[in-house]
Amino acid sequence: MTSILSILKDRFSGAILDTVEFRGEQTVIVEKAKAKEVIKYCRDELGFDYLIDVSSLDHLGEEPRWELVYELYALGNGAHHHLRIKYKMAEDDKADSVSDLWPTAGWHEREIYDMMGIEFNGLADHRRILMWEGYPYFPLRKDFPLAGRPSEMPDVAFTDRAPLAGGPFVTSPTSASTVHREPRSREMD
């Protein structure tokens, strides 16, 4: 795996800001301007054919504030290698979408937008994925209060028992075995 870090350093010498090897994991920290090119190269030339995850970090109080993290994995040719690619970006900047490289990245990018407010150039669908449309805040930002913010939307959370409580798809608390706690077993009784 060390050779992959060397290949990336040679190919993108000015764009690779740092490499980190810790407990068998390799991380490459790149310039934002070259991040998509590095990621595409890893997919097309180095065999990282599986995008595990895209996530983000909020470094509130630092500049640049945001950090994007791409977890790549190489499955082909019997090689099983993990590579993490990171880059930082300013709060008012937009990231480049990788959904054209991996269509599933669209879901990850939508979640990042929904929870952090980071927008992506080239992402066709910026609808919220977890919060409702029109929700004005981004709950995973460090400046979002732990107690939440008041909402104009009534009945967002249940104030009584959840509608499915005790229903056919809900496990029942009991001292019986796991088999008897399963909803399917109640239907058979």
45 with 110, same domain? yes
* Domain span holding position 93: 2-152
178 with 105, same domain? no
Instruction: Give the integer Cα–Cα distance in Å for 141 and 58.
Output: 6
CATH number at residue 35: 3.30.460.80
114 with 142, same domain? yes
Instruction: Give the integer Cα–Cα distance in Å for 8 and 2.
Output: 10
Total structural domains within the chain: 2
Dihedral sign for Cα 144, 145, 150, 154, please. positive
Whether the model pTM is above 0.85:
no
138 with 166, same domain? no
- Which pLDDT tens digits describe the chain residue by residue (189 residues)? 448 899 999 999 999 999 999 888 899 999 999 999 999 999 999 999 999 999 999 999 999 999 999 999 998 766 789 999 999 999 999 999 999 999 999 999 999 999 999 999 999 988 899 888 888 889 899 998 877 766 665 555 545 444 445 555 555 666 777 666 555 544 444
Burial class (CB in 10 A: 0-12, 13-18, 19+), 22: exposed
33 with 117, same domain? yes
8 with 91, same domain? yes
72 with 90, same domain? yes
